[in-house]
Every structure is written in C-alpha cells, then in structure tokens.
Amino acid sequence: MRNRMIAGNWKMNETYTEGVVLAQGLAKELADGTGDVDVVVCPPAVDLKGVAEVIEQENAPFALGAQNVYWEESGAFTGETAPNMLTNIGATYCIIGHSERRGYFGETDEDINKKAKALMAHGIVPISCCGEPLEVREAGKHVEFVVDQIKKDTEGLEITDPSKFVVAYEPIWAIGTGKTATADDAQEVCGAIRKTLADIFGKETADGIRVLYGGSAKPNNVAGFLEKEDVDGALVGGASLKADSFAAMVKAA
Ligand code: PEP
C-alpha cells in the first residue's frame, strides 16, 4: 500500500559542480530503475537547478527535494526561498523541521507547521522531521516528545492524498554520530507516529503516509529498519554523499 522511500539529505555539502557530478553518478548507479522504491535527492539550494538538469538529461529515476523553504510567497525576506521558486525549478519534495534547523536556527514547531502548509498549497511534498534529543530518550520520554511534535507540526493540515505527506523520525542522538537506533527503537516511535496520525487524520490516511527512519542509516543496516511494520524507508545524510552507497540503500529497500 505504501511505496518505500529512500531520501538523501546532502546537507551543506557539494558545490554546484560537485553536486552535478554526484547526481550523474547516482543516475548511472540507478540506471536500471528503482522498482517500487521512491527515491528523493535533497541538495543544497544552489545545487537544485543543476541536479534538476541532470534528472532531465539522464531521465534519472529520482525526484528532487529542497532542504528548506520559507512560508511567504515573495518579498523582503533576505536569504529565504519561496515555495514557487522550488516548483519552478522542478523540486517536488522539501525537508522541513530537520533537527539541525531546529537546533542551530531556532525553528519552532509553529514555523514547521507554516512551512508544511505553504508547501502543500504549492503541491510540494513535505518531508517533515521530528525526533528527540539524548536527554529526552534517557528520561524515557521520547514517545511523548515526538507525539507532541507531530501534533504541533501537522495542526490544521489537510491531507487529501497521504502519499503527498512524509514524516521522518530522526532521533537527534543518532544523526551523524554513527550511533544508530535499533530497528525496535525505530518501530516503537514510528508506530506511535502512525497512531497519532490516525487519531488526527483517520486510519486510512495514516496508513498511506510514509514514515521514514533517519540517523546513521547505511547500506548495511537499512534492511533491518525496513523489516519493521511502521518504517517505510530512510532519510539518509552521510551515506547519501556517495552514489554507490546511496544506490546500495535503494537496492536494499
Ligand atoms: C540526517 O541528517 O537527516 C541524517 C539522517 O544524517 P545521517 O544519516 O548522517 O545520520
């Protein structure tokens, strides 16, 4: 019912020139197609156009995603990117609420909710991130922490097509640290996320929403997460920067 998804978050890596080379490498690695797996690549904003051109030229089997957006349509918001700027260059997904944006740039759940609404109004699929810091996990409060984020981040959203809204559960202590959550850890929270989505939007919608795991996911551990009932894919940081590693994860899915 839900296609699996592997999404790569390049973060602030790869110049325009390097990004084009990486996208070309990935197009080559995935030349035989990705089966039922939806693949998304999220480069830095200045690389988006170059990667869009590679996708078009190579007929590459992956979609283009941004890493951030602003909720206003246009105007005096120096340094920001509007949703229609993303659609105009072919981006169909956008990561919002990544813990690095929450932590370093002070993004709140209210901001993330506004971003989700703005993206959906423009037909861009949000990949809405949530996840707890280490101290919350150690206090055993991780499920309630993430459920609270989900409630705030999705408040007032209208999800008519559940394939057009994606959640990524990324425990902060596992991002870029090499410390991976176990598949059972991921299932515990991803299951609670789906239950929360069902309470808000109804079971049918919740059953169609992809919930990804993110946090040091790699070719050698991704299959274990995907065996779990409520884990539909992975949001991948470090391992998305090498075409062969990322393609191996797509194949493992
Ligand atoms: C991420 O930042 O979304 C992420 C999951 O990073 P990593 O895979 O490097 O832990």
Its ipTM equals: 0.95
Q: To 10 degrees, the CA torsion angle through 145, 132, 253, 119? A: 70
Question: Which residue has the CA at smallest separation from atom 6 of ligand 1?
Answer: 237
Nearest ligand 1 atom to alpha carbon 177: 10
Q: What is the model's pLDDT at position 179?
A: 81
Asked if residues 65 and 40 have their Cβ atoms less than 8 Å apart, the reply is: yes
| One-character DSSP codes across 176-221 | SSS----HHHHHHHHHHHHHHHHHHH-HHHHHHSEEEEESS--TTT
Instruction: For residue 40, count CB atoms less than 10 angstroms from its CB and return exposed for 0-12, middle for 13-18, buried for 19 or more.
Output: buried
* pLDDT tens per residue across all 253 residues of the chain: 799 999 999 999 999 999 999 999 999 999 999 999 999 999 999 999 999 999 999 999 999 999 999 999 999 999 999 999 999 999 999 999 999 999 999 999 999 999 999 999 999 999 999 999 999 999 999 999 999 999 999 999 999 999 999 999 999 999 888 888 999 999 999 999 999 999 999 999 999 999 999 999 999 999 999 999 999 999 999 999 999 999 999 999 9
Here the CATH number for the domain that contains residue 61 is: 3.20.20.70
CA atoms of 2 and 38, how far apart (whole Å):
10
For residue 134 the two structure tokens come to 């280490």
Q: What is the model's pLDDT at position 138?
A: 93
Q: Which DSSP letter does residue 176 get?
A: S
Q: What is the model's pLDDT at position 177?
A: 84
- β partners of residue 234: 6, 213
Could you confirm whether 122 is annotated as catalytic? no
Closest CA to 35 of 57, 5, 65: 5
236 lines ligand 1 (CB under 6 A): yes
Domain that holds residue 85: 5-252
| Secondary structure (3-state) at 200 | helix
Options 98, 100, 142, 188, the catalytic residue: 98
Nearest ligand 1 atom to alpha carbon 240: 8
Question: Which residue has the CA at smallest separation from atom 3 of ligand 1?
Answer: 237
235 lines ligand 1 (CB under 6 A): yes
Distance from residue 76's CA to the centre of ligand 1 (Å): 32
- Domains in the chain: how many in total? 1
Residue with tokens 């759940």: 109
Closest CA to 240 of 80, 75, 86, 22: 22
Distance from residue 151's CA to the centre of ligand 1 (Å): 23
Options 100, 107, 132, 170, the catalytic residue: 170
Closest CA to 79 of 45, 112, 104, 113: 45
9 lines ligand 1 (CB under 6 A): yes
Nearest ligand 1 atom to alpha carbon 170: 5
Question: Which residue has the CA at smallest separation from atom 4 of ligand 1?
Answer: 237
Asked if residues 202 and 184 have their Cβ atoms less than 8 Å apart, the reply is: no
Q: What is the model's pLDDT at position 229?
A: 97
